[in-house]
Amino acid sequence: MIVTVTYNPAVDQTLQFDEPMAADHVLRASDARFDAGGKGINVAQFLTALETPCVATGIVGGFTGQFVRDDMAADGVETAFVEVAGVTRLNTTALAEGTEYKLNHDGPIVDGSTADAVVERVRERDPDRVLIGGSLPPGLSTADVDAVAAAGDWATVVDMEGDALRALDEQYALCKPNREELAEATGADVSTVEGCARAAADFRSQGFDRVLASLGGDGAVLATADELLFAEALDVDVVGTVGAGDALLSGVLAAWERGTDDATALQNGVAVSSRLVEQAGTAVPDFDDVGALRDRVRVRRID
């Protein structure tokens, strides 16, 4: 069983405007969408849809926190959140004439006792794997991430920005940077697939048994102690890429939970991600044909 930890979840508000953005002018959105967001939130939703036992925990508060709870319940995701007095983030994306504007909230101020309560939520479930994903709210640091990794015998996976990955002190089973985060964490040239693969392999020495790097339209690489694998992206009609890295990670974790080898897990991750990008937003897509998609993903070793 997998527990996901999202310290700083959000309600993602997406607004579509049919006119350009302008100062001192009232704009009325022609369409609006609201989704529970955050890396661990997304992964929990995808894992549940992939029929992989999962519990989502983290920190929520206020009316937006209740929306996150309700949205997760609607997707059938089991949750064990810690409630705080503050309000969960509301992040707004405004789309106008082909331009994207992002207005993100830092999140509520959180103290150490709340972080300790999250650790207890994880201990209560005693999972095989724990995923810690996303940004940290004001008041928390990477020491709180390390505390989860050190609190039990589970394998801990982390998906955070590059500077946060460098600051971690515990040993982790896996980290999942995207291309930009891998460059930020390593300072390496990641302009080519081979460069990304070398950077991922080198980054293992920073305290990660495996490094899974999502490369957008180029696919993904997985660096382990024994091999360096590259999976090509599938040729699909891409509508949106938000949450694609979370879908990749979900597919890999779901496959490992079923006991597959690394190459098959990487294929499964690319298949799940391919299905997601065929739609806009991070709503859970239909994964019924993931097996057929997985068989189409080509994986090769990089020397």
Residues with Cβ within 8 Å of residue 253, at least 6 apart in sequence: 2, 43, 47, 52, 129, 131, 157
Residues with Cβ within 8 Å of residue 71, at least 6 apart in sequence: 35, 36
- Output the six-digit token pair for 230: 């590259």
Among the options 146, 159, 246, 262, which is catalytic?
A: 246
130, 86, 81: which is closest to 107 by C-alpha? 86
Instruction: Output DSSP code: residue 178.
Output: B
CB 4 within 8 A of CB 57: yes
Helix boundaries (H) for the chain: 39-49, 62-74, 112-125, 142-150, 162-167, 179-186, 193-203, 244-257, 262-276, 290-296
User: Active site includes 246?
Assistant: yes
- So which residues are the catalytic ones? 246
